[in-house]
Amino acid sequence: MINDTLNDARHKMEQALEHVRGEFGTVRTGRANPQILNRVTVEYYGSPTPLQQLASVAVPEGRLMVVQPFDKSVIGDIERAISRADLGLNPSNDGSVIRIAFPPLSEERRSDLVKVVRNMAEEARVAVRNIRRTAKHDIESLEGEVSDDDIRRGEADLQDVTDGFVAQIDELLGQKESELKEV
């Protein structure tokens, strides 16, 4: 029973880690990264459609991204959607592809993005701690069904798992911060 609770908590913590990894991918650095366009939706025949369903995204060089629509008639809509997405990007199209140049980030913008990334990491840590608290409550509710030693062992294992995931979040944060501070 305790193992089921631990496995469930571990699975939920993995989901929280993957979520923060995806969130970090959407933060713009000085380099072109196709994940930054994951949240962009384009009005396509009256319905909002994710950009990935309408175009392929390539990064031919470090500071340039190329978006090639599958249907050339929506190139203007895609360009407008990227501009409206508030990513700080200025797309330009030549009729067949959209080119997005990534200008170098100013020092002030870098420090702002570091703060944003730190907040994302803290939210992930809080999510992991909330999962731990719920799992700990579930383990404690087994009192009477299993021995007190098993409960203490389960809580210690739960804390080890939690510490491991918090360390992974901190490691991701360190990588993203160094990426943002890179000139």
pLDDT at 183: 64
pLDDT reported for residue 101: 85
Give the residue from 78, 101, 124 where a domain finishes: 101
Pairing assessment for the beta strands 91-93 and 98-101 based on DSSP bridges:
antiparallel
* Per-residue model confidence (pLDDT) at position 159: 94
Condensed to tens digits (0 to 9), the pLDDT of residues 38-79 reads 888 998 888 999 988 999 999 888 788 999 999 888 898 998
What pLDDT shows up at residue 144?
85
> What residues in the chain have per-residue pLDDT under 50?
none
Query: Is 7 in the same domain as 41?
Result: no
Residues 84, 105: Cα–Cα separation, whole Å: 19
Name the DSSP letter for residue 86: T
Q: Any idea what the CATH number is for the domain that residue 67 is in?
A: 3.30.1360.40
User: 48 with 41: CB under 8 angstroms?
Assistant: yes
Residue 69's domain comprises 34-101
